[in-house]
Amino acid sequence: MGEGIVSVPTVDRRAVFRAAALWLAFLAPFFYLTYGVANWLAAQRASVPNLAFGWERHIPFLAWTIVPYWSINAFYALSLFVNETSEAVGRLARRYLTAQIVAVICFIAFPLQAIFVRPETHGLPGFMFDVLGGFDKPFNQAPSLHIALLVIIWDHWRGRLHGAVLALWHVWSLLIGLSVLTTWQHHFIDIPTGALLGLFALWLFPAQGPSPLAGFRWTEDAKAWRLARFYAAGAAAFLLLTVLTTYGSGGGLLLLWPALALAIVALGYAGAGPRVFQKRADGRISLASRWLLWPYRLGARLNVLWWTRNLAPAVELADGVFLGRTPRRSELSTYVAVIDMTAEMPAIAAPGLVWHAFPSTDLLPLEACRIRAATLAVEDASRHGPVLICCALGFQRSAAVAACWLVRAGYAANAAIAGERIKAAGRTVHLRPEIFAAIDEAAR
């Protein structure tokens, strides 16, 4: 194969082909049926609103961009057949299905219409527009299902291509994205809302590991419930603001972003746990998590700045082991390794730095097994040089691990004394008595 393409392992090509064909046989009719019903229902209304900005009238109509616009149909089908296993086919199909179901529900509940009338077009573009007009009416707008599927398909191929072919794929994907505007099929606000939907489908069915909602169990922890309700209330507030502000401007739909981010965090506290952040053992987070939860992470970073504004980034406890808040890139040259207890913050890549992540939910007590695993990582890493133990603020999650390390290293007889030693080193910590038992258990 060409050097720009990664060959797909032939695990069981027949199983992959069979799974792809069966899914496509279901998805294609399902799409045209539900999409058509949404269009028909909107057409029955006396009036259908639109959310177009005034500046959009300056977007040129480029007839030739119907070609990249249409090309997503081919990639939609082809992507199902380019997979390593039948399970991977199912994952991609579920992403498609999620995007289609959510989008169609939005089209039926809140129909919008495109208000620009395309000029008469001839030749191949004219033919393609005529075919499109046979089933696509101007009602199914936000979120753009075209953009949602593009996000899913772009992500599917970017991990399978390299070099010039990958660069070409990025360019073509950009053309597909822009074509929804230059064919006058959509208005601008449909694009970010569609991208949000596509990212949600990627988040719900990640490429690595199970769905963050798999095995969901309602928490029995009272504090976790309080925090879940707090974030759910925040999500509801942003959703209400979305409704109120959208009456005046389509830009109000952008408030769906923080609403969705806070709703996901609420699910994490309610029972899904730190999996909602999709953080790996090396500290990296998935593309979907990175973007979907960006509003929450922005708030978390501002919170770090506020609470640690008068504190040193980190303090040395003993033997080159430091405790501190989540570091900045400029502060990493001191360390050979970082033991990161946050679930919400991504790792920072730096030359020669090893990042060990033990994703844990903020403000909730750590289990003894997690404290011990992180402490053993500290012991191993400290043999090679200075080590930073960190969480968002450096007050609780990382402090529990630091206290355990002090006990195991012989600097403190128990967790309570270790906590006092950390305070004496100049670090504010919030270790409650109930965590001491878990620390002492982990230290044994």
Per-residue pLDDT of the chain (444 residues; tens, 9 = 90+): 444 554 444 458 899 999 999 999 999 999 889 988 888 888 788 787 788 888 888 999 999 999 999 999 999 999 999 999 999 999 999 999 999 999 999 989 888 887 777 788 888 878 887 777 666 667 777 899 999 999 999 999 998 999 999 999 999 999 999 999 999 888 888 999 999 999 999 999 999 889 999 989 999 999 999 999 999 999 999 999 998 998 777 888 999 999 999 999 999 999 999 999 999 999 999 999 999 999 999 999 999 999 999 999 999 999 999 999 999 999 999 999 999 999 999 999 999 999 999 999 999 989 999 999 999 999 999 999 999 999 999 999 999 999 999 999 999 999 999 999 999 999 888 888 889 999 999 999
Residue 414's contacts (CB-CB under 8 Å, 6 or more residues apart) are 407, 436, 440
- What pLDDT sits at residue 120? 83
Cβ distance 97 to 27 under 8 Å? yes
Query: What DSSP state is assigned to residue 322?
Result: E
Integer-rounded Cα radius of gyration of the chain:
26
Greatest pairwise CA separation for the chain in angstroms: 84
What span, in angstroms and rounded, lies between the C-alpha atoms of 273 and 360? 8
What span, in angstroms and rounded, lies between the C-alpha atoms of 193 and 148? 8
- What pLDDT sits at residue 4? 54
- What pLDDT sits at residue 6? 47
Q: Which of 106, 390, 391, 404 is catalytic?
A: 391
- What pLDDT sits at residue 8? 45
Query: What DSSP state is assigned to residue 165?
Result: H
Cβ-based neighbour number of residue 7 at 10 Å: 8
Verify whether residue 369 is a known catalytic residue: no
What span, in angstroms and rounded, lies between the C-alpha atoms of 147 and 153? 10
Chain mean position to CA 322: 30
